[in-house]
């Protein structure tokens, strides 16, 4: 059996049972991109402008002028630029509450976001609650198995338990927010990994040069993340959209650069693994 | 030095430096109530009606028809019924993102909620990020040191690290979501607790009789929580508002019953500790 690390995104797409995992891998292969852009801005106008320049992904809950019209525009852009939508909500409550947060409220995330994510900290009930809403819609969930911030508590047993939890719900959990591959993590003594297991690994904390910000974020390069650690997608935010949202040329150029470095690292990985 | 467990809420209010911790303890003493009602409904009309019947607390992010008018009405009710507002947002992202989520977006939580809460999982940067917004407004933060759900990962080192993190930011962290007192938790070998430390302990998972729901929530009685474990506030949701929101008499009666049991357990605690 070949490890997911050594297979192409196209090969892995063929075997995925969750429709969102399949869609994501096919899209990555088609666009030759393993870049997820995190657009953390607070105005709809800026949000749509940046996305129109670069591609996927955001925090919808920091937009001050959110409305349903925005979602339609986001979906239009998703078709125009062929990207998958990932609302990085980081659900972290009990099953009953996350089911309401995912389906209801102002944002109605489940109705438009292909992928969302959750912390495993409340235990398996958070997956049950989200799956009760997302599975009928064909959505996929990522668990936050690791965080890239300084002093994060996602170490040791915490991370192992997250992976074990995911293994019990492979119909809905399509992968992890993490810094490395998880096939070997959380196996009990004598337990052998399932050859069919193929979780997607999405990694934040990626920068071309930068080493950190003042609020505890730490960075690694695309090559370290994709080739070195075998992660599948790089998540980049301020590293692409920067501090001046009007400089669309520069934003597009940075996106292109991350996309290229991420893809080259992936090509090197599947040809040398 | 007398443990917080043995002191009255009024005595403890006198020594609090954070204005929200002081306000909360004074309010509890004045109303003779250590009950926080969690109103997890999805319509503004129901939300306001339940609060008008019973008192504090909710998840604003599951309200489908949220608008700024609602916040004004919530604030009016907060004055009318003399309660403190706690948005149970469970922030769980990196510092830069939570600062935006707390200050911005549709909900602008920092502008109206006295108290909010956060998971310690991203590390100390989550406190730094939230404090940058909340401290100038005199707000207070609770850290989720423990969760009451089955299989929660808030055990061992995780909980100890949460408490240590809180001790470094006592200007802003006013207490914990937890199942027990935390004075003795997270002390390093030979380390002695600070006599001035007085974190508020708010406990969810409280029921008069019920044992659990189908999504992994587990319950204890007000007496077990307040007298047995020394917690300061009981958080009750569906146990009070039930399944039929039109039965306001029954809702009020259940709220009264929880309030009375919680207060009796507290009186017994401070007279026998």
The tens digit of pLDDT for each residue in A163-186 reads: 999 999 999 999 999 999 999 999
Let me know if B17 is a catalytic residue: no
Confidence check: pLDDT of B36 > 50: yes
Say if CB B12 and CB B68 are below 8 A apart.
Answer: no
Report the predicted TM-score, pTM, of the whole model to 2 decimal places. Answer: 0.89
Task: Check residues A121 and A210 and name the one with the higher pLDDT.
Answer: A121
Map residue B173 onto helix, strand or coil: strand
**Identity of the highest mean pLDDT range in B33-42, B123-132, B211-220:** B123-132
Tokens, residue A21: 């995992």
Quote the distance between the C-alpha of residue B125 and its chain's center: 21
The span from the CA of A208 to the CA of A224, in Å, is: 10
Give the phi and the psi of residue B246 in degrees, each rounded to 5: -80, -15
The span from the CA of A233 to the CA of A33, in Å, is: 8
Let me know if A88 is a catalytic residue: yes
Residue B249's alpha-carbon distances to B23, B52, B74, in angstroms, are 29, 12, 21
| Mean pLDDT across A111-127 | 96
**Which of B52, B61, B90, B108 is flagged as catalytic?**
B90
Task: Check residues B70 and A267 and name the one with the higher pLDDT.
Answer: A267
A40 is in an annotated binding site: yes
A61 and B108: CB-CB below 8 Å?
no
The span from the CA of B119 to the CA of B271, in Å, is: 34
Residues linked to residue B86 through DSSP beta bridges, in sequence order: B115
- The count of other CB atoms within 10 Å of the CB of residue A209 is 7
Q: What is the pLDDT of residue A213?
A: 58
| Among the partner residues A124, A150, A153, nearest to B216 by beta-carbon distance | A124
Task: Tell me what ipTM this predicted complex has.
Answer: 0.87
B contacts of A59 (beta carbons < 8 Å): 97, 100-101
**Which of A22, A88, A198, A232 is flagged as catalytic?**
A88
Confidence check: pLDDT of A111 > 50: yes
Q: Tell me, yes or no, if B182 comes closer than 8 A to chain A by beta carbon.
A: no
Phi-psi region of A212 (alpha: psi -120 to 50; beta: other; left: phi over 0): left
Residue B170 distance to chain A (closest CA, Å): 18
Tokens, residue B204: 């969810």
Confidence check: pLDDT of A162 > 90: yes
Confidence check: pLDDT of A95 > 90: yes
Confidence check: pLDDT of B66 > 60: yes
Residue of B nearest to A93 (CA): B90
**Identity of the highest mean pLDDT range in A100-104, A232-236, B176-180:** B176-180
A217 is in an annotated binding site: yes
The span from the CA of A3 to the CA of A60, in Å, is: 35
Q: Tell me, yes or no, if B168 comes closer than 8 A to chain A by beta carbon.
A: no
Map residue A17 onto helix, strand or coil: coil
Q: Tell me, yes or no, if A171 comes closer than 8 A to chain B by beta carbon.
A: no
Map residue A159 onto helix, strand or coil: helix
SS3 content of chain A, % helix, strand, coil (to 5): 45, 15, 40
Q: Tell me, yes or no, if B268 comes closer than 8 A to chain A by beta carbon.
A: no
| Mean pLDDT across B167-187 | 96
Say if CB B90 and CB A93 are below 8 A apart.
Answer: yes
Give the phi and the psi of residue B216 in degrees, each rounded to 5: 90, 5
Task: Check residues B59 and A222 and name the one with the higher pLDDT.
Answer: A222
Residue A35's alpha-carbon distances to A89, A259, A265, B82, in angstroms, are 18, 6, 12, 50
Q: Tell me which residues of chain B, numbers 107 to 126, contact chain A at a CB-CB cutoff of 8 Å.
A: 107-108, 119-126
A7 is in an annotated binding site: no
Q: What is the pLDDT of residue B45?
A: 85
Let me know if B93 is a catalytic residue: yes
Position B58 confidence tier, pLDDT thresholds 50, 70, 90? very low
Residue A236's alpha-carbon distances to A56, A124, A255, B167, in angstroms, are 10, 29, 9, 33
Say if CB B107 and CB B136 are below 8 A apart.
Answer: no
Residue B2 distance to chain A (closest CA, Å): 32
Say if CB B168 and CB B186 are below 8 A apart.
Answer: no
Q: What is the pLDDT of residue A197?
A: 93
For Cα atoms B92, B78, B232, give the angle at the middle one, nearest 5 degrees.
Answer: 60
Residue A230's alpha-carbon distances to A156, A209, A253, A270, B125, in angstroms, are 19, 20, 25, 10, 27
| Mean pLDDT across B78-97 | 90
A92 and B119: CB-CB below 8 Å?
yes
Q: What is the pLDDT of residue B57?
A: 47
Cα torsion at B51, B52, B56, B60 (round to 10°)? 40
Q: Tell me which residues of chain A, numbers 221 to 240, contact chain B at a CB-CB cutoff of 8 Å.
A: 238
Q: What is the pLDDT of residue B61?
A: 56
Residue A217's alpha-carbon distances to A35, A151, A207, A242, B98, in angstroms, are 19, 10, 11, 15, 13
**Which has the minimum average pLDDT: A51-55, B156-160, B192-196?**
A51-55
- The count of other CB atoms within 10 Å of the CB of residue B138 is 13
pLDDT in tens, B110-158: 999 999 999 999 999 999 999 999 999 999 999 999 998 899 999 999 9
Q: What is the pLDDT of residue B122?
A: 97
């Amino acid at each position: 059996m070949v490890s997911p690390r050594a297979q192409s995104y196209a090969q892995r797409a063929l075997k995925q049972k969750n429709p969102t995992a399949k869609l994501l891998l096919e899209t990555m292969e088609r666009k030759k991109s393993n870049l997820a852009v995190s657009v953390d801005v607070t105005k709809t106008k800026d949000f749509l402008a940046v996305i129109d320049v670069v591609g996927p992904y955001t925090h919808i809950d920091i937009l001050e002028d959110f409305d349903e019209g925005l979602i339609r525009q986001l979906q239009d852009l998703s078709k125009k630029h062929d990207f998958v939508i990932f609302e990085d909500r980081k659900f972290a409550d009990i099953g009953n509450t996350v089911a309401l947060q995912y389906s209801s409220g102002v944002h109605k995330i489940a109705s438009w976001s292909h992928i969302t994510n959750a912390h495993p900290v409340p235990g398996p009930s958070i997956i049950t609650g989200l799956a009760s809403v997302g599975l009928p819609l064909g959505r996929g969930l990522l668990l936050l198995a690791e965080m890239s911030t300084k002093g994060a508590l996602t170490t040791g047993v915490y991370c192992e338990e997250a992976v074990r939890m995911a293994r019990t719900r492979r119909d809905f959990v399509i992968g992890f927010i993490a810094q490395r591959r998880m096939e070997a993590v959380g196996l009990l003594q004598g337990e052998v990994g399932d050859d069919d297991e193929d979780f997607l690994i999405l990694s934040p904390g990626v920068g071309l040069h930068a080493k950190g910000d003042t609020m505890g974020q730490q960075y690694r390069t695309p090559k370290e993340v994709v080739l070195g650690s075998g992660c599948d997608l790089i998540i980049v935010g301020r590293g692409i959209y920067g501090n001046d949202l009007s400089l669309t040329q520069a934003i597009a150029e940075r996106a292109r650069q991350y996309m290229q470095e991420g893809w080259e690292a992936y090509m090197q990985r599947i040809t040398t693994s």
